[in-house]
Structure 1
Amino acid sequence: MTVDTSSTDDSTVGAGAEPVAAAIAAGESVLSRRFGSAITLVSPEDLAGSGPATVLRARVVSSSFALPRTLVIKHYPDPPEPGYADPFAQEAVSYQLFTALSPDERMCPELLAHDGRQRVLVIEDLGRAPTLQDKLSARDSRAAERALLSWARSLGRLHASTASREADFNALLRRLGGPVRNEDNDLADTLDEVPPLLEDLLGIVTPEPIRARVAESVALARSAAFRAFSPSELSPENNLVTGSGVRFLDFERGRVRTALVDAAYLRLPFASCDDALALPAGMSEAMIAAWRAEVVGVWPSFADDEELAAQLTISELLLVWLITSDTLPSLDLTRHATPVSREAALVTWWRELAKHAGYARLPDIAEHATRVAAALGARLGPHADLAFYPAFR
């Protein structure tokens, strides 16, 4: 969910009249049932949700309860496709999980009401705080650094507070009728996809030790170790920078998985985003340190530098592998890449993997990643280095 902080009037922006009216009606209905009295919402403002939900901010004008002046309504008018996870159920259960925690442990808005039949959520409005994307796109490097470190700390606190809550999450999901699907079971399908791509497109043969390392990374992702809640969509647009720290939005793909997958995104920040850019040297290391400070009490083995480096590198290998499987077939390898292209991003992430594997004393991964990065760089030209976010230029 991307909050449009530029709008200051009471008009709707972007959403059609019918979806807005349906969302407001659903929000009023669930609130009235929740609090036992009619509640009226006015002045809907479209918050430009990028997913299947209509997302609005609305003002409360009639209520005998101490509700906030404004609320956020997320309405999912359409049921999920058969066989696919239900984004409404995933999000509702995610908010339920966090709302049950103390305010200090809640790294997201509070869920105020929801209804499975009307497929609507009413959540706390965190206001017009800037997103992490706003901080990265501005020209204040120190503000961007503070926001990134706050994001890493909040991610660590999110993991630490939900480290033993997988059974709770699954039970809540079943109550809403959502299937409990372990997406980690699909990871094995990627094992055999990347080696043919690397050989056909780059002339790089994947040695058996690397295939074994990828299998190891899949096993780690599937294991019961280090599992915690993950928003899955770790996009800078989905994080509000508030006075109490970064708060996460959009749990349409919220799930429980190994926290090391999320931690790998601290090394390759926002790599799943099409417009991801680079961070300056040392920033990722500082973010990992901030994240580790929050989770080490739950997972003491992460206090060991070598242990953490090895675990992170194995998860980073899987992350790069998945991104390569998803993006390499569609990239243009016939012309030089620009510094803000997806081609430059893929080169940079293989180079980062090689560097981190060297630090972690995993020479087989470092050698293979170096070869892939070199082959990509040879195709994409001398400017295939990913540009920094504007805040760091």
Structure 2
Amino acid sequence: MTVDTSPGTEDEHDPAVTALPVSGTEAVDAAVRAAETVLTRRFGSAIGLVDPEALPGSGPATVVRARIAASPFGLPRTLVIKHYPEAPPRGAADPFAQEAVSYQLFTALPAEDRMCPELLAHDGSLRVLVIDDLGRAPTLWDKLRGQDARLAERALLSWARSLGRLHATTAGREADFEALLRRLGGFVPDDDTTPAVACARLPALLAETLGVTTPDDVRAYAEYVCESSAASAYRAFSPVDLSPDNNLVTSGGVQFLDFERGVVRNALVDAAHLRVPFAACDDARALPTGMSEAMIAAWKAEVSGVWPALGDNDLLTAHLLDQQMLLVWVTTWADLGGVAADVSPGRVAALVSFWKDLGTYAERGGKDEVAAHAREVASALNARFGPGLEQPLYPAFR
């Protein structure tokens, strides 16, 4: 595939253009000024923005919705600005570059294959990108905390399908992603080393915190999964942050919004989140029985065309168990690796659920020792932080 690097500007590295670090109320004004500059350069005529509205966000960007005062170019009435005033340390991953390149990758695709807003303009020197405004559609989190179980179920299945389409349309495009990232001056990140750290250190942490010994066979299996995951042939783009508040539920399906950590990696790492939903979220809650299986089926339907081997249920199930185990280990290491006393009861309840589910799936997959170890960890977590810990359902399913 030949990637069109537009939209953008020809002076992405113009030394005369510098981003101004801002804070407080100045941040919105700085974002609007940067957006007006990049849009004017992009379209060759002055474009003014009015009625700026700061949007919530937990990342390093200032996010603003603004209205176009007047434009002869058929641009949307409103647009969204993401401004990253602070550059990262040298050699560190740059969330602006990763997000801008992610949007470039998708904007080069036909509209029907795009699971995110369209990129309208960006500038590497101003560290700003301007994207289409999808409006005030509800997020996936809004659906999960609502009162309608049927709407929440449809939203989850739409999310799984969109995730599968995202993987299918970006499979085999790792070189394009890296080329765009280098052009923008971004640092091409290596595969995440956190799984390797978790596999090496979690057994000692479980012994110290919970008094649970990890059998050698279970440890060896985890190490094998960790090594094979990085070498997987099923590589595609991933937003990495799969939190439900980063996905808009629109009439055209779920749209992904946040690509600050976007990378190309093993797509099955993302698919494991269908079994361990929203594992990294502090308020992760349970889904109804059978929901994960339905989501996996929706994801599989989208990716089996590009990865026919995953149409084999036995092979896919084995891969999902591998990644489910790795995700549970990484999540547990992240939660208990600091001061265990600081972990909230709700978060420990989620860990108990994750380990119980791992035990169930491992037993189905013939991994009896993994299943026994998972149940022992779940029991020990409940005894250490409970008793009686139980992960509640999302409000829509109560």
| TM-score calculated relative to the size of structure 1 | 0.93
CA contact (8 A) 1:343 1:384 kept: yes
**Displacement of 1:301:** 1.4
Equivalence for 1:297 = 305
CA contact (8 A) 1:148 1:287 kept: yes
Match of 1:118 in 2: 126
Distance in 1, matches of 2:341 and 2:60, equals 33
Provide the rounded CA distance (Å) in 2 between the counterparts of 1:229 and 1:137: 28
- Output one character per residue of 1:209-244: Cα deviation in whole Å (capped at 9) or x when no partner: 111111122122211410000000000000000000
CA contact (8 A) 1:185 1:222 kept: no
- Report the CA distance shift for 1:165/1:367 in structure 2 as closer, same or farther (over 3 A): same
Q: 1:178 aligns with which of 180, 183, 186?
A: 186
Match of 2:253 among 245, 249, 269: 245
Matches within 5 A, 1:40-119: 40-119=48-127
CA displacement 1:315-351 (0-9 Å, x = unmatched): 011101111111024465699x75xx10101111001
1:275 aligns with 2:275: no
Separation in structure 2 between the aligned mates of residue 363 and residue 264 of structure 1, nearest angstrom: 20
Query: Do structure 1's residue 355 and structure 2's residue 363 form an aligned pair?
Result: no
Letter of the 2:78 counterpart: T
1:378 paired residue number: 383
What's the offset of the Cα at 1:72?
Answer: 0.3
Residue aligning to 2:334: 326
Please list, as runs of the form range in 1=range in 2, the aligned pairs for 1:153-164 lying within 5 A after superposition. 153-164=161-172
Relative to structure 1, the CA distance from residue 334 to residue 202 in structure 2 (aligned partners, 3 Å threshold; closer, same or farther) is farther
- In structure 1, the partner of 2:19 is none
Look up the equivalent residue of 2:367 and give its one-letter code.
L
How big is the shift at 1:382? 4.1
Q: Which moved more, 1:373-382 or 1:201-210?
A: 373-382
Letter in 2 for 1:246: V
Residue 82 of structure 1 and its aligned partner are, at CA, apart by 3.0
Q: Quick one: distance in 2 between partners of 1:291 and 1:55?
A: 30
What displacement does 1:193 show?
Answer: 1.2
Query: Once the 2 structures are TM-superposed, how far is the Cα of residue 127 of structure 1 from its aligned partner?
Result: 0.3
Task: Find the counterpart in structure 2 of residue 11 from structure 1.
Answer: none
Cα distance between partner residues in 1 of 2:111 and 2:102:
15
**Over aligned residues, Cα RMSD in angstroms?**
1.6
- The total of aligned residue pairs comes to 376
Whichever residue aligns with residue 392 of structure 1, its letter is F
Preserved contact between residue 98 and residue 106 of structure 1 (Cα < 8 Å) = yes
- CA distance in 2 between counterparts of 1:20 and 1:304 reads 51
Contact in 1 for aligned 2:191/2:230 (Cα 8 Å): no
Cα deviations by residue, 1:153-186 (Å, 9 ceiling, x for unpaired)? 0000000000111010001000011111113345
In the superposition, relative to structure 1, how do residues 344 and 181 fare at CA in structure 2: closer, same or farther (>3 Å)?
A: same
CA distance in 1, matches of 2:386, 2:24: 45
Unaligned runs of 5+ in 2: 1-22
- 1:187 alignment partner AA: P
8 A Cα contact 1:331 1:342, kept in partner: no
Write the letter of the residue equivalent to 2:378. Answer: A
The corresponding residue for 2:295 is: 287
Residue in structure 1 matched with residue 26 of structure 2 by the alignment: 18
Q: What secondary structure, in the 3-state scheme, does the structure 2 residue paired with 1:123 have? A: strand
Equivalence for 1:127: 135
1:48 Cα deviation (Å)?
1.1
How far, CA to CA, are the matches of 1:216 and 1:246 in structure 2? 34
Structure 1 gap segments, 5+ residues each: 1-14
Look up the equivalent residue of 1:385 and give its one-letter code: E
Is the 1:313–1:356 contact (alpha carbons within 8 Å) kept by the matching residues of 2? yes
Displacement, 1:50?
1.2
Sequence identity (%): 61
Aligned: 1:315 with 2:320:
no
How far did 1:36 drift? 0.3
Aligned equivalents of 2:98, 2:340: Cα separation in 1: 35
Secondary structure at 1:62 match in 2: coil
SS state of the match for residue 298, structure 1?
coil
Contact 1:269/1:276 (<8 A) preserved = yes
SS at match of 1:193: helix
2:18 corresponds in structure 1 to none
| 1-structure distance, mates of 2:84, 2:192 | 26
Contact preservation (8 Å) 2:140, 2:245: yes
Q: Distance in 2 between matches of 1:277 and 1:190?
A: 23
**Take 1:221 and 1:89, find their aligned partners in 2: how far apart are those partners?**
25
Q: Is the 8 A contact 1:306 1:360 kept in 2?
A: no
TM-aligned CA deviation for residue 121 of structure 1: 0.3
Match of 1:369 among 374, 380, 384: 374
Q: Distance in 1 between matches of 2:289 and 2:387?
A: 20
Amino acid at match of 1:323: T
Q: Which 4+ runs in 1 deviate beyond 3 A?
A: 184-187, 329-335
TM-score (norm 2): 0.92
Contact 1:331 1:343 in 2 (8 A): no
1:63 Cα offset (Å): 1.4
Residue 210 (structure 2) pairs with residue 205 (structure 1): no
Taking a change above 3 Å as real, the CA distance of residues 330 and 383 of structure 1, as seen in their structure-2 partners, is farther
Q: Distance in 1 between matches of 2:192 and 2:93?
A: 14
Alpha-carbon separation, structure 1, partners of 2:332 and 2:193? 19
Q: Distance in 1 between matches of 2:339 and 2:312?
A: 39
